[in-house]
Chains A and B, each alone.
Chain A
Amino acid sequence: MLNPFFLQGSPNEQNLVQDLINEHLKIYGVDVYYLPRQYATTNKVIEEVVESEFKFAYPIEAYIDSYDGYGNQGTILSKFGIQELDDLTLVISRERYEVYISQLIKAIPDGKLTNRPKEGDLIYFPLGNRLFEIKYVEHEKPFYQLKKNYTYQLTCELFRYEDEVIDTGVDFIDDPTEFDGDGTGDDNTGRDQYATTVTLQLIGIGSTATASVGSILNGGVRFVSITNRGNGYTSPPKVGFSSSPVSGRTAVGFATMIGGIVDLCEPDSKKLRVQGVELSNPGFGYTVAPKVSFVGGGGGGAAATAYIGNGIVGIISVTNGGSGYLVRPTVTFVGVASVSAAATAYISPSGSVTEIRLTNAGLGYTQIPQIQISSPNIFVGVGTYIYNETVTGSRSGVTGKVKKWNVNTKVLEVSTVTGNFIPGENIVGAASSATYSLRSININNQTDKFAQNSDIENLANEILDFSEINPFGMP
């Protein structure tokens, strides 16, 4: 039985101690930020938090217990690259947590316990610009002075980052000062360099290609009609035309192929057949229609008939390839003719028109027709993406979070991507409403300086032969 004439801790004394501690923390402490974890997805049985989000950050004063530096082993080189094994022990006021942070956390969806600091939550430590994860909360140190505990001791380790969403709205936490938003793409020295990202090449403004017809010709090949598609081709055969008379010029054509037809002659759907002949030069000076033959390509049997005529369109030169084409534009000939010419445009991977081939050189032109090439059917990109905003693919519905944006090269880097974006769709920023069309995608985790995936792949391309596949070794 305790001596009843002594008071072993009255509420007033306890409050005094708590106040003194609070005051000390405010004098000697550091302002850290407390980031409560929101549990987005949790697995049962093999119990794990699959997805977490950190969308709130509350400043609180904390005393650094390990005043002579971080604890543990520091920087080590492991099998998995460099690891920072820094620990940090912080002391925060119990009262301050309960009356301040605890009340705010209650309103957060998908949070868990609110009455105490909890393991798994993050602490942003501003002096090192680092994120720590609380791994243990000690509540009985010092041990019941005046029958009460006044502090929490938080043992923290540096955060292991995967794909957690850190979007607190506090700039230097989300984006450790690097995403300056000037769109020059130099924002790569912070935490984001550690995230798995996908690089999207967007298109700003496309320009329309132009082309012109060299001349109107007589006795040239108007078009080629396929009389037998042949079969068994693995690549387009060369197209040969009989030589023109000396004063003329022999036509030049390319075979276009079709695949996927299966019949008795050709049971292999991967083999190709000749579908048509496009002319890069219709020739001129023929007096009788030239013979057409198909040489090479691995198959045989294709046959075609050429038709000649006067007043046909000659060679077409692309005067300006334009830019921003995702699909072949349509080509229209404007001029007076008995039969109008028709042509197909070819585009390069970078999106400009490289060549125009005639499918029909027309008939009866007396004046050189104008060529109209359709404009690249893309949205003219506008706006500036904002760091960490969600962008959505207009067709695929895939979303990602903006990590980097370079307005000059139109390269957008996004993380936490939910699938595959489709080239040609618009990438729309949720907050900024910035919209650009997507040209190409590069799944790239080289921002993680550890990864060598691309290097390995490039080196292996030279030495590996995947053409010989062992039919028994595959699942």
Chain B
Amino acid sequence: MFEYFYHEILRKTIIGFGTLFNEISIQKKDDSNNVFSVIRVPLAYGPTQKFLARLEQQPNLNTPVQITLPRMSFEFVGLSYDQTRKVTSTQTFLTSSVSDQTDVKKVYMPVPYNMEFELNIMCKINDDMLQIIEQIIPYFQPSYNLTIDLVKTIGEKRDIPIVLENITMRDDYEGDFSTRRALIYTLRFTAKTYLFGPVSTGAGKDIVKKVTLGFVSGDSNSTSRDLKYSAEPVATKDYDNSVATNLSENIEASNTAITVNNATNIPVKSYITIDDETLYVAKKDGNVLTVVRASYNTKAAPHVSGTAIKTITSADNALIQFGDDFGFSGFSVS
């Protein structure tokens, strides 16, 4: 049960959450309404190693100022199970591997968890704070959807709604003059993310690749099949890049007789591809092929002289990738 896996889902959600706020800027205007300065509000993930913060933020010990403002920091503060989004745990889904299209991977349904985030904003003056808050709130109604590639190996992209739960404001302006004013707003968010278990590879062998249907006649003691149909998937495009010959003339989208350099390697009643179009070879006369254009739902297009003509053979059938369209071999009867 406990094999190692780590999809970095929590980390990715944290980074995704952070991106929402990294382009906020504030403007200051003078009395005649001219922009005086534009500040892009610095944002960082709050928790950090203490020594690292000291080394990076105070390389020279004599910090000339207390802090620069405004600043924003965000923090991952809680994780809770979300039963409203639960699906059957025995359900799996198959997907082709992103790196190797021929491999099929299997993963169980993820478990839904809510990540709680806090975004803290500290400003020197209220005007800055109101500018920042107004740029954030309209996007959350009350949620904003982020599409995050949660599990890279299977290319699983999920919409993660980020819900703005509440806003608390702290403004310590009262009191004696020895205490500092702290103007801090805290926005609490919930990111509805999904946690995936381990991804198992090599699930391709479990895929049905041949269907056989047998008919038995006679009484119930009869066991031999009298009639059998079987069908196998065939490729609808060329995978192994097998160039048979080249076009010897420009052809338009409507031409059905096409001339090639050498038609020897092109069998009759087979499929060929030119650019993105698949054609059916109905007849062959020397180097002139009579074809059916735009087969397998491709689009008829003009092709330039010299374009490679690729054949679709049984070698291509073995290379059909997970998720691709495919045809059927027709029935073979025995």
Contacts and interface: CB of A to CB of B under 8 A. Distances in A.
Interface of A: 40-41, 43, 46, 48-51, 75, 77, 79-87, 119, 128-131, 135-136, 155, 157-163, 176, 189-191, 194-196, 240-243, 250, 291, 293-296, 300, 415-419, 443, 445, 448-453, 456-457, 459-460, 462-468, 470, 473-475
Interface in B54-74: 54, 56-60, 62-71, 73
A295 to B, nearest CB: 6
Contacts of A77: 48, 50, 53-54
Nearest to B55: A449
Contacts of A443: 40
A249 to B, nearest CB: 13
B178 A84 contact: no
B149 A465 contact: yes
A176, A462, A473 interface centre (most CB from chain B within 10 Å): A473
Contact of A189 (B12, B54, B60): B60
Contact of B56 (A196, A449, A460): A449
B126 interface: yes
Contact of A83 (B29, B43, B64, B67): B67
A75 B36 CA distance: 32
A176 B64 CA distance: 9
B42 A450 contact: yes
Contacts of B176: 136
Interface of B: 12, 15-16, 18-19, 22-23, 28-31, 34-40, 42-46, 48, 50, 53-54, 56-60, 62-71, 73, 75, 120, 122, 124-128, 138-139, 141, 143-149, 152, 157, 159, 161, 176-178, 180, 249-250, 275-276, 301-307
Contacts of B22: 453, 456-457
Cβ-closest 6 pairs across A and B = A240-B304, A451-B42, A136-B177, A158-B66, A475-B138, A460-B19
Contacts of A131: 64-65
Contact of B37 (A417, A450, A453, A460): A417
Nearest to B276: A296
A81 B141 contact: no
A72 B38 CA distance: 33
Contacts of B42: 196, 445, 448, 450-453
B64 A416 contact: no
Given A130-B64, A136-B178, A473-B143, A295 B71 contact: no
B305 A79 contact: no
25 contacts: A40-B30, A41-B30, A75-B63, A80-B46, A81-B44, A82-B53, A82-B58, A83-B67, A87-B178, A129-B64, A157-B180, A161-B65, A250-B306, A293-B303, A295-B304, A415-B37, A448-B42, A453-B42, A453-B43, A456-B45, A457-B22, A464-B146, A465-B148, A465-B149, A470-B159
B12 to A, nearest CB: 5
Given A450-B42, A450-B44, A463-B12, A130 B62 contact: yes
A48 B53 CA distance: 31
Given A48-B127, A51-B28, A295-B304, A189 B59 contact: yes
Contact of B305 (A83, A129, A243): A243
Contacts of B73: 79-81
Given A158-B65, A196-B42, 17 more contacts: A41-B29, A46-B126, A82-B57, A85-B66, A130-B65, A162-B128, A194-B65, A242-B249, A294-B302, A419-B38, A445-B39, A445-B42, A456-B18, A460-B19, A465-B148, A473-B144, A474-B139
A168 to B, nearest CB: 14
A242 B67 contact: no
Contact of B148 (A51, A162, A450, A463): A463
A143 B39 CA distance: 46
Contacts of A460: 15-16, 18-19
A296 B60 CA distance: 59
A321 to B, nearest CB: 32
Contacts of B177: 119, 135-136, 155
B141 A241 contact: no
A452 B44 contact: yes
Given A43-B127, A473-B141, A163 B16 contact: no
Given A80-B71, A456-B19, A295 B303 contact: yes
Contacts, number: 237
Nearest to A466: B147
A456 B60 CA distance: 26
Contact of B302 (A41, A43, A293, A474): A293
Contact of A159 (B18, B66, B71): B66
Nearest to B64: A191
A191 B148 CA distance: 39
Nearest to B42: A451
B75 A79 contact: yes
B237 to A, nearest CB: 16
Given A82-B53, A464-B147, A243 B67 contact: no
A160 B67 contact: yes
Nearest to B137: A475
A470 B148 contact: no
Contacts of B304: 240-242, 291, 293, 295
Nearest to A241: B304
A130 B63 CA distance: 7
A162 B56 CA distance: 19
Contact of A293 (B45, B66, B149, B250): B250
Nearest to B248: A243
A295 B126 CA distance: 59
A190 B16 CA distance: 33
A129 B34 CA distance: 33
B125 A50 contact: yes
A343 B80 CA distance: 64
Contact of B54 (A82, A128, A159, A294): A82
Contacts of A416: 36-37
A157 B143 CA distance: 41
Nearest to A192: B64
A463 B68 contact: no
B42 to A, nearest CB: 3
B66 A157 contact: yes
A43, A87, A136, A158 interface centre (most CB from chain B within 10 Å): A158
A451 B43 contact: yes
Contact of A162 (B63, B69, B249): B69
A300 B122 CA distance: 55
A75 B60 CA distance: 13
A72 B50 CA distance: 20
B133 to A, nearest CB: 13
Contact of B44 (A83, A84, A451): A451
Given A463-B12, A464-B19, A243 B306 contact: yes
Nearest to B128: A162
Contact of A190 (B12, B45, B64, B125): B64
A82 to B, nearest CB: 5
A375 B18 CA distance: 45
B46, B58, B178, B301 interface centre (most CB from chain A within 10 Å): B178
